[in-house]
Amino acid sequence: MSLTNFKIWHFRGGVHPYDGKELSNQVPAQYAPLLEKYYVVLRQNIGKPPKLIVEKGQHVAKGQKIAEADGFVSAPLHAPTSGTVGDVADIPGANGPNVPAIEIIADGKDEWDTGLEPIKDWRQADITDLRHRIAEAGIVGMGGAAFPCHIKLTPPIEKIIDTLILNGAECEPYLTADHRLMLERTKAVLEGAAIAAKILNVERILLGIEDNKPDAIEALNKLADQYGVTVVPLPVRYPQGGEKQLIYALTGRCVMTGGLPMDVGCVVQNVGSCAAIYDAVAEGHPLIERYTTITGTPVVNPSTWIVRIGTPVREALGFAGGTKSHAAKLIMGGPMMGFAQMTLDVTVTKNTSGILLLSAKETGAYTSDPCIRCGRCVDNCPMHLQPGSISVMVESEHFHEAEHLNVMDCMECGVCAYVCPAKRPLVQHFRRAKSEIIAERQAAKAKAAMKHS
Amino acid sequence: MNDTMKQNEQKNMPGCEMLVMSTSPHVHEGSSISKIMMQVVLCLLPVIAASIWHFRFHAVLVIFYCSAFCLIFEQLWDMALHQKSTLKDGSALVTGLILALNLPPTAPWWLCMTGCFFAIIIVKQLFGGLGQNPFNPAAAARAALLAGFSGPMMTWTMRAPAMLPPTVQKAAADFVTSATKHAAAADFQTGATPLGLAKLASGSESVMDALSTSEMYWRYFIGNTGGSLGETCALAILIGGLGLMFLRLIKWQVPLGMLGSIALFTGIVHAFAPELTPGPVFHILSGGVMIGAFFMATDMVTSPMTGWGSLFFGIMIGMLTCIIRIWGGYPEGVSFSILFMNALVPLIDRIFRPHPFGWTSTRAAGVQMRRGEIK
Amino acid sequence: MLTVLISTIVLAIVGLALGLLIGFAAKKFDVEVDPRVESVQELLPGANCGGCGYAGCADFASAIIHQNADPSNCNSVSSEALKKIGLIAGHEITVRERKVAVVFCSGSYSHTSHHEEYNGIMDCRSASLVGDGDKECHYGCLGYGSCARVCKSGAIEIRDRLAFVHPELCIGCGRCTQVCPRKLIRLVPITAKVHIYCSSLNKPLKKRASCMNPCLACKKCARTDSSAVVIQPNLLQINYSNPPAPDFPERVKCPTGVLATAEQHLKLELLPANCTCGKETKKK
Amino acid sequence: MDFHTLLLVTVGAILVNNVVLSRILGICPFLGVSKKIETALGMSGAVVFVMTLASFVTALFNRFLIATKFKVNGQEIDLSFTRILLFIVVIAALVQIVEIIMKKFTPSLYVALGIYLPLITTNCAVLGAAEMNADEGRSILASTLFGFSTGAGFGLALLLFASLRERLAASRTPKAMEGPAIALVTAGILALAFMGFSGLVK
């Protein structure tokens, strides 16, 4: 498809941080070696955690389902390798201190038995079957939110969907997982997208990719026509890969406050999820491994690895050669939106796009200095909020004012805290405000329900 | 079991013993409050240099007094409250410098001290320090001094080249003799500022004309005229102000709105009543308009946070300045206008609140989409 | 004389006319106000602490009269006043015991293991959003003092990152119980003098590893007096419907000292810097 | 009564001789009801209403009762010394009526204004406006306009002040300066800003 005259809308705000991608973007991704033990965290998706269906001591094959979906908004889990099921115990998780995890003790044979037949001629297959396959394979949004994928592909009947958007922007600094994926598994990404498009019955497939990945763009363009995908290079600007920003950049449509992409006729899928869809449908493999960037200046060999879900971070860092200097922070995800971790015992989950170590020099320490109202956060906020004013309101516990200042629209991209000269922990203030407001809304709802009954 | 497993059995990662927990983002652009303040000081340098060039030793003395007193008061306050010293954020120095540039060259040390006390302690620290003060410390201190010590605040001395040229003096003398009620106006020759003269001789078209010749404009522009330390040389302020804009330390909407509204307003008044006031160029170049527009009204803490709000803020300051200058009791109204508009900032922020992204109704977008207008 | 007379008459006429006008207006635009609300409000403490769940004492008073709210929801009102309120409001009122807040944790910073550094807002509720605090025990006190900041009577003291309640200052408004993200603070009857200062539901071994003063669920206290405590998995609690006497700690001699009176708990000694006794528990 | 004079009366009462910030009248509600913009607006509305009405009514009384010299039994009676008494009575009655009506029709505003509504009675600004009218010998129309503009000036000051205080409530004021202390300092600086308008109306 020709790229000439493709109009790109530019969102207002955003920043351009040092992206650190040159550390790892030229290193081909490698398969991680097999480990002795994996710890698969039970709760890996938004919604309800899946139900455990194996017992301690039971033998499982690679790709065998070990937990099944509990309800609609839920995704099953699969064994990362063949072996024995160990304890189900609480371990430190990526976003909570005590999360139950299933221990899988590898037997070293690494034998597949998924019980899923490859659907080679998916173009002729029934849409319901395809959807079912994606749900069974446990695919979730692999960009970060971990929203079960099959739900996105089942829009309510009254919503008209006309565009499938593939998110290959990878605007987070340091991360190169999607970059390597698009370069090395181009066919899988595009074919997965075509499958998703068939399910959604849409003609238009747009792939947004930041133009700092020319090799990936070239590789995609070679095959794009074959699958009806338009590859759109976008200017490098964080958060170009934010869902709302990406939709705006590619289509000029604004997702309304509190709305969903499907309200404006779009469905957004991460390129990693597309590759996983391809694997699930055409190969019959569930989601048990993913591209993950292990990077940062303290890492000896920053590189991208195909690691299995449940790999402890300590081992993953070992793949990349370990550390060579002092690290101040361990981050799951990118430096702008990732979660800092307190121990190396956390494990890789379906949405771990990167494992990042930052030295003390690179990370900025937050202070409790006052807001000087410079307005840089207002100028740069991609959601057009007033982060400074909101944080002042939260600081003095005026949550209603914060709500009036639309704190609930904040997507926690971190641009405001990145530019704040007072180095205020703005995102933490917003999380606090959101949790308070949600708690209050739930209390009000409960009260109303009580009055009603 | 294979060898790779053993090979990778590196249980202890050196250097990961003390991990820091915090919310995202984990990187920072590298700016800081003290850096911003130092950049402001840097942009003030041309203005300081011009004031020293024009007023020589007087300027050095006043600038020294004001910065020293501001720093001392800031430190004393921190000591009294047993808190960490806030000197290093540099805001006290900026306040001191801007206040100095707003004082007449003959300001005695006690005047500087009173001003600094008012600016630092009363206007800033009582409200909680940096970032909490609703009023601009320098503007408030200047207004307070003007109200309390109008004598020393209105005494202008200047070097011979800065005296008003004979044409202007003659026109003024004619007007004064013709209107005997202005008996107290004898001191214009020793060095009234052009603004003071314009106020004094309100009603005389000849004086207004004499004040707004191109030769006079050039004098105002390079600062060869009477006035406060920093306000005379429009050229130096322009250099510093453009530096501020270039470094993105101020919002361009404030100076634009302020200068634009002054030009428009005085232009209209001058066109209809030329005897009341000189033309727009005179008003922009004389008095505290330039330094007010670039250095005082744009103060981050006390100006609105949004672009449109800033524009409105600037326009209103310009309007109020003109009203005070043309009809009010004071010859100059910039600090009063800034102070007044500072009080309005919370309301402006409330009214000009930005709409969040996606505020445009989806229904409209949906309709357009179905019609095929968006593709 | 005539001037005075006339002015008096004028004023009288004007006053009379305006008085009539007001009287007419008052009649015409009359609004029923229940006088009972005011008398109830006078009996309430007037601190407007909000502990009852209403916007203030006036709001609460109106709720007592009009919505049959329970006056004993206010913890600071005396029992005599409660009785009087009951008479005014005309509904049965059970006099409830006065309550005080207790922080069920003895894990001060030097008594617990903690491994990472926290960089952010010094507030418990904000800190709990980032990896759930820096102490290893995820049931214990975060110690950033959210409770102390909302306490209007200054009864909560933060010492070495642990909150202590001074029972003699506490008015039992319960604001601290609402802000604690760990729900460590509960209101208990003031007659109970002995408490088990631990809330961790971890297994005893894990507790031992993360804290020097946990309840190890050894049940020594239960053996001493089984009616005084409630046994829960991994944790024992004082039976607050039958609180033991203040000499209970002496009789039990709790091995970790977590069973204590408020006075004993307040004296919880801080570890000296060179103490070695906590080393093996601090290392993981 | 030309337009120019009326304009001067209005501008003078709102900006130059602002009743709160220049004449220092009505400080009690100025400090008391300025914590939130919404209640400040309600209070401003009430004060504008009461002041306009009171100025009008007192001007009537002044014109037809107090300033009129009439003779009884050949003796000239001058009632001007009863002016303050009369004004107080009239204003108090007016406020009572406003209060009764407000309680009936806007109970929420009535609760929000609380004690400050009956205090308008003792709001010296209302009496001050009436007295100034009488002193200046203004006509009934000018008096009413002056009452209205004085009320508007009060409202402007109150609105500015309330918005500032809302910002102050969220700022890190030192403990000792919290509440009325910092509010009074703010009012002082605000008065300084209003000083710039002096001389606008001679």
In this prediction the ipTM stands at 0.84
Percentage of chain B with pLDDT > 70? 82
Q: Which residues 94-113 on chain D approach chain C with CB closer than 8 angstroms?
A: 96-97, 100-101, 103-105, 107
The per-residue pLDDT for range A329-350, each reduced to its tens digit, is 999 989 999 988 888 889 999 9
Least confident window among A31-40, A439-448, C266-275, D172-181: C266-275
Q: Can you tell me the mean pLDDT for A370-384?
A: 90
Q: Decide if pLDDT at A417 tops 90.
A: yes
Q: Which of C121, C129, C138 sits opposite A97 (nearest CB)?
A: C138
Q: Please, which chains are in contact with D (at least 3 CB pairs closer than 8 A)? A: A, B, C
Q: Cβ–Cβ of B343/D200 closer than 8 Å? A: no
Least confident window among B197-211, C167-181, C268-282, D72-86: C268-282
Listed in order, the ranges of chain C carrying CATH 3.30.70.20 are 99-282
| A329 touches B26 (CB < 8 A) | yes
Higher confidence at residue B304 or residue C95?
Answer: B304
Q: Cβ–Cβ of D93/C2 closer than 8 Å? A: no
Closest by alpha carbon to C128, among A340, D110, A432?
A: A432
CB within 8 Å of D182: residues ≥ 6 apart: B126, B127, D168, D173
B329 interfacial to chain D (CB closer than 8 Å): yes
Percentage of chain A with pLDDT > 70? 98
Q: Can you tell me the mean pLDDT for C229-239?
A: 87
Q: Decide if pLDDT at B85 tops 60.
A: yes
Which residue of chain A has the CA closest to B24?
A337
Q: How far is the alpha carbon of B335 from chain D, nearest alpha carbon, in Å? A: 8
Residue A396 with chain D: CB contacts under 8 Å:
169-171
Say what the pLDDT of residue C42 is: 81
Q: How much is the mean pLDDT over chain C?
A: 81
Residue B21 with chain C: CB contacts under 8 Å:
116-120, 130-131, 134
D78 interfacial to chain C (CB closer than 8 Å): yes
Task: List the single best residue of B135, B145, B153, B296 to mutate versus D (max D Cβ within 10 A).
Answer: B135
Say what the pLDDT of residue A186 is: 94
The per-residue pLDDT for range B218-230, each reduced to its tens digit, is 888 887 777 788 8
Question: pLDDT tier at B288 (50, 70, 90 boundaries)?
Answer: confident
Which residue of chain D has the CA closest to C30?
D104
Residue B361 with chain A: CB contacts under 8 Å:
256
Q: Which of C116, C130, C134 sits opposite B23 (nearest CB)?
A: C130
Q: Decide if pLDDT at A306 tops 90.
A: yes
β-strand partners of A307: A290
Q: Which of A253, A256, A340 sits opposite B22 (nearest CB)?
A: A340
The CA distance from A415 to B27, in Å, is 10
| A107 touches A84 (CB < 8 A) | yes
C16 interfacial to chain D (CB closer than 8 Å): no
Residue B24 with chain C: CB contacts under 8 Å:
none
Q: Decide if pLDDT at B199 tops 80.
A: no
Task: List the single best residue of A392, A397, A405, A424 to mutate versus D (max D Cβ within 10 A).
Answer: A392
Say what the pLDDT of residue A272 is: 93
The per-residue pLDDT for range B101-130, each reduced to its tens digit, is 999 888 899 999 999 999 999 999 999 988
How many A-B residue pairs are in contact by the CB < 8 A criterion? 227
Q: Which of B127, B143, B344 sits opposite D182 (nearest CB)?
A: B127
Q: Which residues 23-82 on chain B approach chain C with CB closer than 8 angstroms?
A: 23
| D66 touches D144 (CB < 8 A) | no
Q: Which of A342, A365, A435 sits opposite C129 (nearest CB)?
A: A435
Q: Decide if pLDDT at A57 tops 60.
A: yes
What are the domain boundaries of chain B? 33-153, 167-351
Q: Which of D82, D97, D104 sits opposite C22 (nearest CB)?
A: D97
pTM: 0.86
Q: Which of A98, A365, A428 sits opposite C130 (nearest CB)?
A: A428
Task: List the single best residue of A254, A300, A415, A432 to mutate versus B (max B Cβ within 10 A).
Answer: A254
Query: Using CB atoms within 10 A of its CB, is residue A198 exposed (0-12), middle (13-18) or buried (19+)?
Result: middle
Q: Can you tell me the mean pLDDT for C18-35?
A: 82
CB within 8 Å of A153: residues ≥ 6 apart: A131, A134, A196, A199, A200, A267
Q: Which of B127, B144, B323 sits opposite D173 (nearest CB)?
A: B127
Percentage of chain C with pLDDT > 90? 7
Residue B328 with chain D: CB contacts under 8 Å:
196-200
Q: Cβ–Cβ of C120/A366 closer than 8 Å? A: yes
Task: List the single best residue of D16, D165, D184, D197 to mutate versus B (max B Cβ within 10 A).
Answer: D197
Q: Cβ–Cβ of A366/C119 closer than 8 Å? A: yes
Say what the pLDDT of residue B192 is: 62
Q: Cβ–Cβ of B147/D163 closer than 8 Å? A: no
Q: Can you tell me the mean pLDDT for A425-452?
A: 89
| A418 touches A237 (CB < 8 A) | no
The CA distance from D199 to D181, in Å, is 30
Higher confidence at residue C119 or residue C34?
Answer: C119
Residue D192 with chain B: CB contacts under 8 Å:
140, 143-144, 147, 336, 339
The per-residue pLDDT for range C120-158, each reduced to its tens digit, is 888 898 888 887 777 888 888 988 989 998 888 889 989
| A171 touches A241 (CB < 8 A) | yes
Task: List the single best residue of A374, A380, A408, A418 to mutate versus B (max B Cβ within 10 A).
Answer: A374
Say what the pLDDT of residue C282 is: 39
| C173 touches C199 (CB < 8 A) | no
Q: Decide if pLDDT at B238 tops 90.
A: yes
Listed in order, the ranges of chain C carrying CATH 1.10.15.40 are 35-89
Q: How far is the alpha carbon of A112 from chain C, nearest alpha carbon, in Å? A: 36
SS3 labels along chain B: CCHHHHHCCCCCCCCCCCCEECCCCCCCCCCCHHHHHHHHHHHHHHHHHHHHHHHCHHHHHHHHHHHHHHHHHHHHHHHHCCCCCCHHHCHHHHHHHHHHHCCCCCCCHHHHHHHHHHHHHHHHHHHCCCCCCCCCHHHHHHHHHHHHCHHHHCCCCCCHHHCCCHHHHHHHHHHHHHCHHHHHHHHHHHHCCHHHHHHHCCCCHHHHHHHCCHHHHHHHHHCCCCCCCCCCCHHHHHHHHHHHHHCCCCCCHHHHHHHHHHHHHHHHHHHHCCCCCCCHHHHHHCCCHHHHHHHHCCCCCCCCCCHHHHHHHHHHHHHHHHHHHHHCCCCCCHHHHHHHHHHHHHHHHHHCCCCCCCCCCHHHHHHHHHHCCCC
Q: Which of A15, A318, A329 sits opposite B19 (nearest CB)?
A: A329
Q: Cβ–Cβ of B328/D198 closer than 8 Å? A: yes
| A110 touches A8 (CB < 8 A) | no
Q: Is A90 helix (H, G, I), strand (E, B) or coil?
A: strand
A339 interfacial to chain C (CB closer than 8 Å): yes
Domain C35-89's class? mainly alpha
Residue D160 with chain B: CB contacts under 8 Å:
343-344, 347
Q: Cβ–Cβ of D101/C25 closer than 8 Å? A: yes
Q: Is A329 helix (H, G, I), strand (E, B) or coil?
A: strand
Domain C99-282's class? alpha beta
Q: How far is the alpha carbon of D191 from chain A, nearest alpha carbon, in Å? A: 24
Which residue of chain B has the CA closest to C121?
B22
Question: pLDDT tier at D11 (50, 70, 90 boundaries)?
Answer: confident
Q: Cβ–Cβ of C134/A342 closer than 8 Å? A: yes
The per-residue pLDDT for range A139-189, each reduced to its tens digit, is 998 877 788 888 888 888 888 888 999 999 999 999 999 999 999 999 999
